[in-house]
Amino acid sequence: MATGGRLAVRLIWGSNTDVGKTLVSCALSSAARRLRVPVRYLKPIQTGVSGNVWEMDGARVARALGAGHDVGSHALAAVAGIAGGEGEGGGGGTSASAFASAATLFGWRNPVSPHLAVEMEGRLVPDGDVVRAIRLQEEAFRRELRDSNLDGLMLVEIAGGPLSPGPSGTLLADLLRPLRYPGILVGSAALGGITGTLSAKESIEIRGFDLSHLLILEDGEKGLNNKEALEGHVAGSEVEVRRMTPLESKTCVTDGEDYVRELEEWLSLTGTRAEAEVVVKDVMDAHLRKVGEMESLKAEALRTFWYPFVQHKALDEGEIMVIDSKEGHQFTTFDGEKGCLAPQFDACASWWTQGPDLQMQMEMAKKLGYAASRFGHVIFPTNVHEPVLRCTRNLLRGPGQGWASRVFYSDNGSTAIEVALKMAFRKYLVDRLGPDCLGDEDVEFDFGGVSVVTQRHGYHGDTLACMNAVEKSVFNGPVQFPWNVQQCVPLQPAYLKQKGGTWSIEVDDGRLVVETPFKSLTDFFDDDIRDFFDQDAELRGLYNEVIRDELEGHDNLGALLIEPVCQGAGGMKFIDPLWQRELVSYCRGRGIPVIFDEIFVGLYRFGYESVKDLLGIDPDIACYGKLLTGGAVPLGVTLAGEDVFDCFLDDSKTNALLHGHSYTAHPIGCSAANFAFDRYNAILKVDEGSRIYWDEDLTAEISKAARVENAVALGTVLAVELSGEQGYNSTASADLVQLLRDRGVYSRPLGNVVYFMCSPFSTKHESCDDLLGLLLELLR
């Protein structure tokens, strides 16, 4: 347990500008110093510093502390007559003491909103630079505290209100979301202040920030008593509302010495000191309590959780990661040794669901809040509401365009597959016995003899039918017994592999290896390139022969169920599209309904809205989930054509598709899907199939590493198969996974297969190149 060097950080929000944020910062900083709590004040963004350093809020706080004022080089450039070196408020650089210091990081001359100051003066500071600068200050302060074995306080004062634009135009509440520091909100004591304060509070909290205090600089006898009104509106929350003595100054704040004198007199008031000290004590106590709670979470998780896909006998606290929040592609996790939060890149895309980036995540939160307030949940059968109608249009105009006419809603991918199997079996029955069989009680059919054509190493979910529709494996054998009955004919796919920089096709479980001249995985899907591959005609004949030999002796094949292009849980195995085309063609020739399980592979996982466009084949039924809602909420859908739908039309309700659950067509889930589609259509559909995430040359270099058996990348997925023990139970990747986590990359392997997965909205240079470089370094 950390016993020193713990740092409580608080964002000082204001309901608007000129509500007293800097005064509150002065009071809290001064109180911390009196209480012998090391304190660091930051003003990340400052405008209106045209010629007097006293126009910098950091200088005022520094004076209240009797400490130095660090001024960043960007902020120095904003002060007329100062071009590097120290400002009037004290030393620049790193001269400040760890026990009391203040700093201004970025500044502009004009007294306007930061985005307008940038337009007038230039010197744009990207959002990421602001966040990084604050983190560097935090890390430096934390190191000094650890060296001194002391607990400290850092105050970060925001410019304007939470919805004020930052230098780039991004709203400050969105810009600062990656930090997710708890906050103190300074409310307004003026007429209209209740509305402004509550609006600011909601804007902050809907973005995932915590608030501990709401402070109002208000005279309880002469003022409007906004404090009492606000208390009633936040009752039941964890936010404490407190009143602080106002500074009734008539002096212009640019008159440095007069302002400082009045400030010092205000800080010396008994009321001001007492009020500020109570808040500082509350903040420090709450932070130390929070650290203790975070440290205890792992032990409690071990005592009470039953994790999926985890052998608890081998699980210890060291393997459990405490996640505080997630911002785009990054987890914010708790580091128990340092007693602080630390970032981890989510390289498994949170079980393959990660869609929107950070900015989209914030926008989606607002959409879901609207849907929750408007609908909550409403029953779906024989009803319609706007979110589900929009979602249906998006699905039929998107992945279902040209072949699907109906959408069936469920709650997750496994259920969507169950529904698809019911649809396929009914179509199989009607196609063989005719539509009149539905109402004929004399018709008997033994569905116990119906099998599903699947691929070896397949996985389609954890419900019973999904488990029965794949071969015996680690996923279904011991757990499903005695209900698990293999009702499938699993075929061995032809896999695509890259080793030593050379691409090959492995047929018949690796007993036949066909080397190819291709340079990337995408070449295998390019018909023009494959036309020059001499072995294709021979392969087509071989595939046909193997498929016929496996299936000719089987009657009552009720459906073909495949993961097109790539098998996810089976080990990120990429399949030769020619093999899958031949399999679908054979099944179509026998009248076997074709189901595409696109829950993992669909919706731009591989650069296309639907992987049917990679294969050039339309299914009869297809299932979607995961990226459907961008990971925000669970939702599953099953798409089908009218010929499948018609198989359930009958005079008797008994012959309807009697399947559903309480949250069918959940309005919040549909709203999340609609938001995701809006972004997919606006950003990804315009260059469908052309986005590159993983560098082909670097991937080829990884395939040359001594312990690598296969390295492939397509769309958002990079998969690396390591030598040694094979399969899901393998521990061959354990050392590499631990090294990655130590370097800030969270990876959850599939046995001996380590994979990285980014969001479809990632860019190659944003993160993928760095991840490839790190992986190559560790493998070498």
pLDDT (tens digit per residue) in 190-241? 999 999 999 999 999 999 999 999 999 988 777 788 989 998 998 888 899 9
* CA within 13 Å, CB half, 579: 24
Structure tokens at 436: 């009149």
648-676 mean pLDDT: 92
Is the pLDDT at 670 greater than 70? The verdict is yes
If you average pLDDT over each of 58-67, 250-259, 686-695, which comes out highest?
686-695
Q: Starting from the edge strand earliest in sequence, which strands make up the sheet with 502-507, in order?
A: 495-499, 502-507, 512-515
Predicted confidence at residue 446, as pLDDT, reads 62
Predicted confidence at residue 148, as pLDDT, reads 87
Q: Which of 205-214, 360-369, 712-721 is predicted with the least confidence, judged by mean pLDDT? A: 360-369
Predicted confidence at residue 270, as pLDDT, reads 85
CA distance 14 to 21: 6
Predicted confidence at residue 443, as pLDDT, reads 60
Alpha helices in 151-223 (DSSP H): 172-175, 193-205
CA distance 435 to 510: 44
Is the pLDDT at 94 greater than 50? The verdict is no
Looking at every residue in the chain, the average pLDDT score rounds to 88
Is the pLDDT at 568 greater than 50? The verdict is yes
369-376 mean pLDDT: 92
Predicted confidence at residue 82, as pLDDT, reads 40
Is the pLDDT at 2 greater than 50? The verdict is no
Is the pLDDT at 780 greater than 80? The verdict is yes
Is the pLDDT at 85 greater than 60? The verdict is no
Is the pLDDT at 370 greater than 60? The verdict is yes
Residue 217 and residue 24 in contact, taking contact as beta carbons nearer than 8 Å: yes
Chain segment 441-491, per-residue pLDDT in tens: 656 666 567 899 999 999 999 888 888 888 888 887 776 666 777 889 999
Residue 206 and residue 366 in contact, taking contact as beta carbons nearer than 8 Å: yes
Q: Please name the residues in contact with 19: beta carbons below 8 A apart, sequence gap of 6 or more.
A: 186, 187, 188, 189, 193, 217
363-371 mean pLDDT: 90
Q: Which of 63-77, 206-220, 498-512 is predicted with the least confidence, judged by mean pLDDT? A: 63-77
Structure tokens at 332: 């914010």
Is the pLDDT at 773 greater than 50? The verdict is yes
Q: Which of 131-135, 466-470, 738-742 is predicted with the least confidence, judged by mean pLDDT? A: 466-470
Looking at this protein, which amino acid is placed at residue 594?
A: V
Percent pLDDT > 90 in the chain is 64
Is the pLDDT at 5 greater than 60? The verdict is yes
Domains along the chain?
Answer: 7-246 (3.40.50.300), 362-687 (3.40.640.10), 696-779 (3.90.1150.10)
Residue 518 and residue 529 in contact, taking contact as beta carbons nearer than 8 Å: yes
Predicted confidence at residue 444, as pLDDT, reads 62
490-507 mean pLDDT: 95
CA distance 673 to 676: 5
Confidence of residue 251 (pLDDT cuts 50, 70, 90): very low
Residue 463 and residue 418 in contact, taking contact as beta carbons nearer than 8 Å: yes
CA distance 405 to 4: 63
Chain segment 302-323, per-residue pLDDT in tens: 999 999 889 899 899 888 999 9
Chain segment 392-417, per-residue pLDDT in tens: 999 999 999 999 999 999 999 999 99
State whether the Cα torsion 411-414-418-423 is positive or negative.
Answer: positive
CA distance 424 to 420: 6
Q: Please name the residues in contact with 358: beta carbons below 8 A apart, sequence gap of 6 or more.
A: 174, 177, 178, 327, 328, 329
CA distance 37 to 542: 76
Q: Which of 315, 321, 322 is nearest to 290 (CA)?
A: 322
Regarding beta strands 708-714 and 717-722, do their DSSP bridges make them parallel or antiparallel, or are they unpaired? antiparallel
24-30 mean pLDDT: 94
Cβ-count burial 17-39 (b if 16+ within 10 Å, e if not): eebbbbbbbbbbbbbbbeeebbb
Chain segment 681-692, per-residue pLDDT in tens: 999 999 888 899
Confidence of residue 549 (pLDDT cuts 50, 70, 90): very high
630-637 mean pLDDT: 92
Question: Greater confidence, 520 or 598?
Answer: 598
Predicted confidence at residue 1, as pLDDT, reads 37
Virtual CA dihedral for 380, 381, 386, 387, nearest 10 degrees?
50
Taking the alpha carbons at both ends of the chain, their separation in whole angstroms is 35
Predicted confidence at residue 96, as pLDDT, reads 41
Predicted confidence at residue 441, as pLDDT, reads 60
Confidence of residue 252 (pLDDT cuts 50, 70, 90): very low
